[in-house]
């Protein structure tokens, strides 16, 4: 996509033409400059129509209009695709996302009981806090089939050892995990 040109009207059409039976969808709209909160709502509304998709990757990195509300709406839409086994969400450099946005990812995906792998990136999301990261770990601890978690929380100045350590402590409660990678 020419994501710099993608606007609120166009985003609603992006997922409309995915053929039935598709098992994996990757949407890279990083750098979108014309999307507003309305556009992210339209994207969130379109995601649940991906019935049968097992792997979903959405990259909205460097979209300066992404907020905690955007994250919550998008994750709520993703959580309606019950067939998902893998979810990759990239919020790199989305400076308006704070601790609650990070918590929303894990808590919001909880309805996906068959989820096996989560990748999430909040690289350079400067407003993310230790509390947000620990809340993310709390949400992930409830997953029963999750075998792999990969998270990129690099270059977040507010994070301290307690945040990363707190996530590892909480993930220890998830007995199905065989791979944990947090950067």
CA dihedral angle for residue 60, residue 45, residue 87, residue 169, rounded to 10 degrees: 90
Q: What is the pLDDT of residue 55?
A: 98
Q: What is the pLDDT of residue 90?
A: 96
Are 1 and 33 in contact, with CB atoms under 8 Å apart? no
- pLDDT 10s digits, 36-64: 889 989 999 999 999 999 999 999 998 88
The two structure tokens encoding residue 160: 């301290």
Please give the backbone phi and psi of residue 7, each rounded to the nearest 5 degrees, phi first. -125, -175
- pLDDT 10s digits, 86-109: 999 999 998 888 878 888 898 899
Please give the backbone phi and psi of residue 90, each rounded to the nearest 5 degrees, phi first. -115, 115
d(CA 118, CA 73): 18
- pLDDT 10s digits, 60-72: 998 888 888 999 9
């Amino acid at each position: 996509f020419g994501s710099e040109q993608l606007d609120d009207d166009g985003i609603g059409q992006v997922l409309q033409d995915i053929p039935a039976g598709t098992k994996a969808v990757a949407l890279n709209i990083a750098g979108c400059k014309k999307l507003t909160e309305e556009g992210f709502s339209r994207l969130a509304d379109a995601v649940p129509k991906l019935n049968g998709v097992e792997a979903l990757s959405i990259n909205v990195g460097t979209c300066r209009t992404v907020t905690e509300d955007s994250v919550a709406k998008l994750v709520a839409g993703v959580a309606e695709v019950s067939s998902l086994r893998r979810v990759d969400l990239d919020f790199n450099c989305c400076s308006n996302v704070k601790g609650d946005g990070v918590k929303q990812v894990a808590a919001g995906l909880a309805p996906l009981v068959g989820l096996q792998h989560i990748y999430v990136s909040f690289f350079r999301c400067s407003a993310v806090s230790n509390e947000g990261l620990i809340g993310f770990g709390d949400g992930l601890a409830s997953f029963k089939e999750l075998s792999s978690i990969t998270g990129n929380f690099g270059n977040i100045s507010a994070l301290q050892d307690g945040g990363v350590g707190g996530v590892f402590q909480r993930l220890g409660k998830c007995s199905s995990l065989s791979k944990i990678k947090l950067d």
